[in-house]
Amino acid sequence: MILHLRAAVQQLYAVPPGEFTALRKQLADEAKAAGDPDLAKRVSALRKPTVAAWAMNHFVRTQPDGLAEFRGFAELLREAQRTLDADQLRTLGRERARRVDALGLEIATAATEAGTSVGAGALAEVHDTLVALIADEDAEKKILTGALVKALSYSGFGSVDIEDAVAFEDDEPAFKVIDGGGPNAEAGDGATSAASAEAAAVDLEERRRAKREAQRNRLAGALQATRDAAREVDRTVAVLTARQEEVTEGIADLERRLSTARERLAKVTAELEGATAERERREGALQQAERALADHDAQS
């Protein structure tokens, strides 16, 4: 007997999709019989997960360690995007597709071994959900509940739409100075005059050197600032390039799915045309048989 909605969710989203509806009714009936009509109503309102969502839930529940490395990779990629680390973004961006494909196949295989086949469309939705996990920490949290009811997707910018993605929202849960002579120095003293002249020359040269150094420091600072700005632009370009690649991959995936859907439509249309022609042929034969019978009856 379930005592709260969480218990119902734990049971319902663990069973294969084919058993979901019957178990949901059973749990709702039990709650109603126990005198808790509100719980029965909430259980009845729980939505059946799509095949892709069930495959993700099954993998999260039965192979939690299987997601550990992928989640670590996702955090590295999100951190690279936050810090605009161009080199890291390029490296991880190239690795992303391979990891998504590999884990997607693992998830599909686990679901198939549990008795639920994951077709091409559902596998594409599993891939979309894994991409959403990488892009958004909130999406990752939703996936880890093991109670997804639909696949998630990421368009390449902004956050992932996670509204109504799970069964229910859990409320519990310096300068050197040169001395040029003192005030008592004699003007006619040649040694003193020479010393003063030498000191003055040294002072002038020191001032010139200090001025050149200060100017060089200003130029070096401007150069460093320009380099920093250039690196910042490089990082921004890398981030936008990575995002462009994500959007391009998303478009390519949508085009593949659209192509598959069109092929299915063409197949179904051809089958429908064949069935329609067969129906017309059968109707013609039926009318002919009816007329033959009527003619026979008329002659009798």
pLDDT tens across 129-187, in order? 999 999 899 999 999 999 999 999 987 777 788 888 998 765 433 333 333 333 344 44
pLDDT of residue 121: 92
Of 20-24, 29-33, 72-76, 210-214, the range with the lowest mean pLDDT is 210-214
Question: Is pLDDT larger for residue 53 or for residue 158?
Answer: 53
Model confidence band, residue 217 (pLDDT cutoffs 50, 70, 90):
confident
Residue 166 has phi, psi (to 5 degrees) of -120, 170
Residue 23 CA: distances (Å) to CA of 14, 29, 36, 47, 253: 11, 10, 17, 12, 35
Angle (nearest 5°) at CA 201 between 199 and 207? 100
Using the 8-state DSSP alphabet, how is residue 22 labeled? H
Tell me the pLDDT tens digit for each residue of 92-110.
Answer: 777 888 899 999 999 999 9
- Kindly report the three-state secondary structure assignment for every residue of 85-96: CHHHHHHHHHHH
CB 23 within 8 A of CB 14: no
Residue 218 in this model has a pLDDT that exceeds 90: no
pLDDT of residue 202: 53
Per domain, the residue ranges of the chain are 49-143, 204-300
The pTM for the full model equals 0.56
CB 161 within 8 A of CB 146: no
